[in-house]
Amino acid sequence: MPACARYNLTDRWTASLAASQDILNRGRGMELDGWLGYRWPISETTRMDFGLGASWGNSQYMRSQFGIPQASTTASGYPAFKPRAGLYQTEIGVDVAHALSRAWVVFGGLRYSQLHGDARRSPLTVRSSGVSATVGIAWRN
């Protein structure tokens, strides 16, 4: 579970930072995620959130996600690849939420992400960018 910090810069702007560390030493390394968001209240029941994010991984994290050890080259057919620590992903997103009532909320969002540096150059990387969408309904107490 990552350690997270969030700070409200103004009533509409927020910044957050999350850190994940492999404390069980299973070779996963450490990852830092930063996010800057802006909330636009369209009405009393509807809001839009816009955001920019970036992710950084230490060398152990990068090797576990994007690396190919020398010992695996014969079996995998890929050349050895030892990525370095660094910024590996940026993303931009928009989310919309609308309260149907005091208890029910519908929401949706779109995200575009882009790999960078050694993550992008990894032989394991099939696509260097991607789009994701979410949609849902939630009940709040």
- The domains of the chain are located at 3-139
Mean of all residue pLDDT scores within the chain: 96
- Provide the 10 A C-beta neighbour count for residue 78: 13
Residue type, 52: L
Angle at 76 between CA 75 and CA 79, to 5 degrees: 110
**Do the beta carbons of residue 60 and residue 27 sit within 8 Å?**
yes
Angle at 83 between CA 52 and CA 132, to 5 degrees: 35
Q: What is the pLDDT of residues 9-49, one digit of tens each?
A: 999 999 999 999 988 878 789 999 999 999 999 999 999 99
Residue type, 5: A
- Please tell me the pTM assigned to this model: 0.86
> Which residue stretches of 20-113 are H helix?
59-66, 73-76
The architecture that CATH gives domain 3-139 is Beta Barrel (2.40)
What is the spatial distance between Cα 51 and Cα 40, in angstroms, rounded to a whole number?
A: 11
The reported pLDDT for the residue numbered 1 is: 65
- Mean pLDDT of the 95-101 span: 98
The reported pLDDT for the residue numbered 117 is: 98
